[in-house]
Amino acid sequence: MKLLFEKSHPGVPKPYLPASGGDGLCDVRDAIPPALLRAQPIGLPELAEPEVVRHYTQLSARNVGIDSNFYPLGSCTMKYNPKVNEFAAGLPGFAELHPAVPEQQVPGAMQLMAELESYLCEIAGMAAFTLGPLAGASGELTGILIIRAYHESQGNPRRTVLVPDSAHGTNPASAAMAGYDVVSVPSTVEGEVDVDAFRELAGPDVAAFMLTNPNTLGVFERRIEDIREIAREHGILLYYDGANLNAIAGKVRPGDMGFDAVHLNLHKTFSTPHGGGGPGAGPVGVSEALIPFLPGPRVHSNQAGDRSWVTAGEHSIGRVGGFYGNFGVLVRAYTYIRAHGADGLCGNSETAVLNANYLRVNLRADYPAAQDRICMHEFVAQPSRALLENGIRTMNVAKRLIDYGIHPPTVYFPLIVKEAMMIEPTETESKATLDHFADVMTEIAADARSNPQRVRDAPHDAVVTRVDEVRAARRGNFSYDPDTIPPDV
């Protein structure tokens, strides 16, 4: 498929606008004041409007998304989301709001945010929430900054944050951005936090332990109460990464496990289809002791039911985003929660866990789970020993899935599992889809035994087939000047 610049051809009719006074048409350049014209042309491709529209329409048809393909992407929760949520977010009263409109003129939006905060408090078991953070990683940083502010208020800012060796990569990154040294806590052979190692690392200089439960390996931390007691003994705050809330929403609450700060991914668990960099929302919930440090502004409701903005207090970490977060994402989450209710959210978690275990068992012959026990909403599988000995690696399986129209799962993460494939079917997929995926994986394994080279050369039917990723990584040139690109890249 050619680029627009490659399709460009001179002599395309220029755009015209009505001339001043309504007398005929004029070249669009003649309608622009001379002082605003560019001194030099910017070199845009010369194409007629239908050519541009067709190009982008054809390009969009090549995109892979949850509306077109099964997307078993572990931890990222690429689940199908009801279109009614998109309808709600697109209502003119929400979509056309300007963020600077006085609160007296938008009581409905203020009510939605106040009620959403109360719903999230109930779901997560926290005392209060801020809806301001713009994504999960933004929520992580917000939570860690709140924890830092709390310790500073106690006269001891502390210097270290502990994270499991299976943690999402944003966990240590957020802690480092907040100024902490990061220390890794190892996992046991069963995929859970090594509590004895955690006990050894815990001390008065540790500010927080960042954890998600269930963890990144898809298993529930059965000793979470022991972890909580050790943390309390040393004044360590527990931080909950909400990426895996899909497994437990309505079943158990992070606050009840002992977590002091929680971020939730509204764009994962509560509806907005995400990917490609946004939009997102990562509200942060805190225990009673951390409320003074929440960022502002927040919605305040008085006894008469009137709502207004409350600016950050003297102990607050300050603003964490422009205005008040991604409001459209908040509308989608509110709609999702109201549509499902408590029973529906609980049922979603149960179905997500059921679907993951159904696949875990059906795939175990060719792709055994690293922890082959009852998992939560996702599990980490590996190619069997027989496939590995035949020269098949996880990347080969992932590339071959593309030929069947299935988006590959997350691969090579978490790093503590060799040849990892993190599979999360979510609660929105039917048994027929899961059976099809299992059949395809079985067929790939059969091909790997009889014709391994065909699997290693995949994908065969994609628009872009196998690329030399090692060369691209080692000799990549990201300049826009084509004359600087080496001829063999």
**Co-location of 54 and 120 in the same domain:** no
Q: Indicate if the pLDDT at residue 163 is higher than 80.
A: yes
**Co-location of 135 and 218 in the same domain:** yes
Residue with tokens 């100024």: 179
pLDDT for the residue numbered 16: 65
The pTM (predicted TM-score) of the whole model is: 0.89
**Co-location of 399 and 271 in the same domain:** no
pLDDT digits (tens, 9 = 90+) for 416-469: 999 999 999 999 999 999 999 999 999 999 999 999 999 999 999 888 888 787
The answer to whether residues 288 and 309 touch, using CB atoms and an 8 Å cutoff, is no
Q: Which two tokens stand for residue 285?
A: 């919930």
Residue predicted with more confidence, 161 or 302 = 161
**Co-location of 189 and 320 in the same domain:** yes
Nearby residues of 176 by Cβ (< 8 Å), 6 or more positions away: 182
Angle between helices 327-363 and 107-124 (to 10 degrees): 30
Last residue of a domain, one of 339, 360, 378: 339
**Co-location of 324 and 388 in the same domain:** no
**Co-location of 465 and 435 in the same domain:** yes
Domain boundaries, position 412:
348-474
The total of structural domains in the chain comes to 3
Q: Which two tokens stand for residue 408?
A: 């590959």
pLDDT for the residue numbered 152: 97
pLDDT for the residue numbered 28: 66
Mean pLDDT of 327-339: 96
Determine, yes or no, domain membership for 232. Answer: yes
**Co-location of 228 and 172 in the same domain:** yes
**Co-location of 311 and 435 in the same domain:** no
Q: Indicate if the pLDDT at residue 358 is higher than 80.
A: yes
Domain with 255 in it: what CATH number?
Answer: 3.40.640.10
Share of the chain above pLDDT 90, in %: 70
Q: Indicate if the pLDDT at residue 304 is higher than 90.
A: no
pLDDT for the residue numbered 329: 93
Nearby residues of 65 by Cβ (< 8 Å), 6 or more positions away: 71, 273, 275
Strand partners, 6: none
**Co-location of 127 and 259 in the same domain:** yes
- The rounded distance, in Å, linking the Cα atoms of 489 and 486 is 6
Determine, yes or no, domain membership for 480. Answer: no
Domain with 384 in it: what CATH number?
Answer: 3.90.1150.10
**Co-location of 168 and 201 in the same domain:** yes
